[in-house]
Amino acid sequence: MRKTNAPDFHIPVMGIGFTIDTPTKVAQYGISSVISLVDDKLMEKLRAFYSKNLEIPYKEISEKVEDFRAKRITAYLDLMNDIVSTKYNEMKKSLLEKSDEIEKYLDMLPDYSEIKQKFYEFSNSGKINDFKTWLIEHLPKGNIDVNIMTKLDKENYKRGEKLPSEYNDAHAALRGFANSKLHSTIILSAGMNPRLYSYIEKFSDFYPDESGVIHKKIAIKVSDYRSALIQGKFFAKKGLWVSEYRIESGLNCGGHAFATNGYLMGVILEEFKNNRQNLQNELHEIYIKALSDKGLSIPKEPVETRITAQGGVGTSEEHKFLIDYYGLDSVGWGTPFLLVPEIVNMDKKTEKILKDAKEKDVYLSNMSPLGVPFNTIKNNTKDIQKFQMIEQGVYGSPCSNRYLTFNTEHTDKPICTASRAYQKKCIESLNKQELSQEEFDKAVAKLTEKSCICVGLGTSALLSKDINPGKEGDGVSVCPSPTIGHFSETYSLNSMVKHIYGKLNLISTQDRPNMFVKELSMYVDYLKNSLDDIQNPLNERQMKKWVEFRNNLNQGIEYYKGLFSSAKNKFADKGNKILKDLEKWENDLRNIKFPEFK
């Protein structure tokens, strides 16, 4: 039987603003959650908001202040830390003084929780006061973890002069976290950024102290085992330890989707399961040598390596299977929590869109200026406003935040492909070309699909707190996974936690596919759509790529057939349905036609 003090689920980063203060609402219950470090402007607005509400002295950090981005992030994270500490201490006090508070707390825990087991042990011996004393000493506190998308490392300028790389956006965000009071984890996502990774060496909190404790830990989102090993070695050679490998589904996730080469999530998890100890041993040897070479403290005990996963999970059966079969330390529950208004920032219009959504309303779009496929939902208010402006002949958005300025097609300095400046220049260029109306409309549609997500993904945090979003407007971009189509109400935190642990069922539909099957279906569609978009005959390199993609999917299907044939009893009456669904998608994959090969 599993025993743990802390919950074995976490709340991943969602958008920019949806989870930007979630730790203050869940950490006292032992639940870890993740704050995005993209938008320092939003953090500064929220720091002013909380300071006023909590009657805390506030001094603005304006853009005129040297290193303002890093300082804003540090100040905001320190505030979050203080609020969480206060709420955690208040909870300890209430658990000591009010018996009904203990009952409420225990009600949210799974039966295998060590805390629950201890409660039964002390209760049966009539020593409930001893249990209270034990609980206060062992009460877990959730982490205030942070996320940096490593690709968002825009260069910055001052008075027309480019600043050194440590003032790049991701570098400054890292420095903001490193200088904060937090003892938590930074999650690095969106691929490897060697310059950013090397910058971590400059901060002592990422190294073990004299007692072997690492106060600021590193986690990386990875798409496969090979990536984990490569990135883990990169850090280990610098005396830096990756404490967590966070595996996310390539397509069955919210927001940016980084498709693998047809490798399915179950196959990837199996490889981690089989090689976990090898990964630990190989990297630990490199790590210890690097610490020794630097003359730093060497931990007496092996350093922890956590393996976690997220992307598309929606039932207690799936959660339990991921933990039990693959030996995961935690499972990320993202999209369902978008309908838990007490812990995420959600405006009423977007909340209704999410409640009414069906699976088919979530689609893999090209709206992100990063050029990475992006899971979003039809008729989000940011897109509606964008289409209204297009009808008036106005293309693109004002670019006030400038977090996604990477394109130099028409300008010397990078600009964003969703910006008004960029799209205006593109429209002018199209007008000069001799295009048919159909060709022109198609080019404009592709251009204007780009959306200002660096504003849209944060606005809900302002609207939910009645803060005026200002000139950026009140349009909200939202980025759920298809799982949202199977939840149709808003829920309390208590109810969602009970759903995770199988004490309640909040799924509102009868036809929800297993998370692995859903990901497979998305990969089959992705392959079909990718091949349909190819205009010219495939060359040898392209043909090899897509044949390998298809072969990897077929291998994944065979893996799932074996897995679910032996484990179908773990999914109640759905085990046979999973096998039938696999057969259906295997046939669909078989029927995909490849373009002509030259």
Could you read off the pLDDT tens digit of each residue along the chain, which spans 598 residues? 455 678 999 999 999 999 999 999 999 999 999 999 999 999 999 999 999 999 999 999 999 999 999 999 999 999 999 999 999 999 999 988 887 888 888 888 888 899 999 999 998 888 888 998 999 999 999 999 999 999 999 999 998 899 999 999 999 999 999 999 999 999 999 999 999 999 999 999 999 999 999 999 999 999 999 999 999 999 999 999 999 999 999 999 999 999 999 999 999 999 999 999 999 999 999 999 999 999 999 998 888 899 999 999 999 999 999 999 999 999 999 999 999 999 999 999 999 999 999 999 999 999 999 999 999 999 999 999 999 999 999 999 999 899 999 999 999 889 999 999 999 999 999 999 999 999 999 999 999 999 999 999 999 999 999 999 988 899 999 999 999 999 999 999 999 999 999 999 999 999 999 999 999 999 999 999 999 988 888 888 999 999 999 999 999 999 999 999 887 667 755 668 899 999 999 999 999 988 876 6
CA nearest to 183, candidates 144, 147, 148:
144
Tokens of 399: 């670019």
Q: What is the three-state SS of 65-107? A: CCCHHHHHHHHHHHHHHHHHHHHHHHHHHHHHHCHHHHHHHHH
242: in domain: no
Tell which of 174, 202, 230 closes a domain. Answer: 202
The full length of the chain comes to: 598
Q: Report d(CA 374, CA 256) in Å as an integer.
A: 4
Query: 255 with 204: CB under 8 angstroms?
Result: no
Are 73 and 135 part of one and the same domain? yes
- Measured in degrees and rounded to the nearest 5, phi and psi for residue 185 equal -120, 140
Beta bridge partners of residue 332, listed in sequence order: 10, 310
Are 547 and 520 part of one and the same domain? yes
38: in domain: yes
Number of domains in the chain: 3
Residue 139 is part of which domain span?
Answer: 10-202
Are 540 and 490 part of one and the same domain? no
Are 504 and 596 part of one and the same domain? no
At residue 518, the 3 state secondary structure works out as helix
Query: 32 with 246: CB under 8 angstroms?
Result: no
Tell which of 476, 508, 540 closes a domain. Answer: 508
Q: Report d(CA 331, CA 247) in Å as an integer.
A: 10
Tokens of 422: 């960029």
At residue 52, the 3 state secondary structure works out as helix
220: in domain: no
Tokens of 246: 């966070």
CA nearest to 170, candidates 21, 74, 69, 254:
69
Are 494 and 517 part of one and the same domain? no
Tokens of 216: 């600021």
The residue behind tokens 């039966």 is 111
CA angle 261, 265, 271 (to 5 degrees): 90
- Measured in degrees and rounded to the nearest 5, phi and psi for residue 290 equal -65, -40
Tokens of 573: 């009456």
Residue 92's alpha-carbon distances to 8, 25, 96, 126, 128, in angstroms, are 21, 15, 6, 21, 15
Are 359 and 501 part of one and the same domain? yes
Are 497 and 365 part of one and the same domain? yes
549: in domain: yes
Are 188 and 161 part of one and the same domain? yes
Cα–chain center distance at 199: 23
CA angle 260, 263, 266 (to 5 degrees): 125
Tell which of 187, 202, 217 closes a domain. Answer: 202
CA nearest to 173, candidates 47, 35, 62, 65:
35
548: in domain: yes
Tokens of 556: 């994944």
Q: How many CB atoms lie within 10 A of CB 28?
A: 24
Are 421 and 366 part of one and the same domain? yes
Are 472 and 534 part of one and the same domain? no
323: in domain: no
Are 471 and 584 part of one and the same domain? no
Q: What is the dihedral sign for C-alpha 196, 198, 199, 205?
A: positive
Q: Is 590 left (phi over 0), alpha (psi -120 to 50) or beta?
A: alpha
Tokens of 75: 């100040």
542: in domain: yes
230: in domain: no
CA nearest to 228, candidates 209, 248, 212, 211:
248
Are 110 and 181 part of one and the same domain? yes
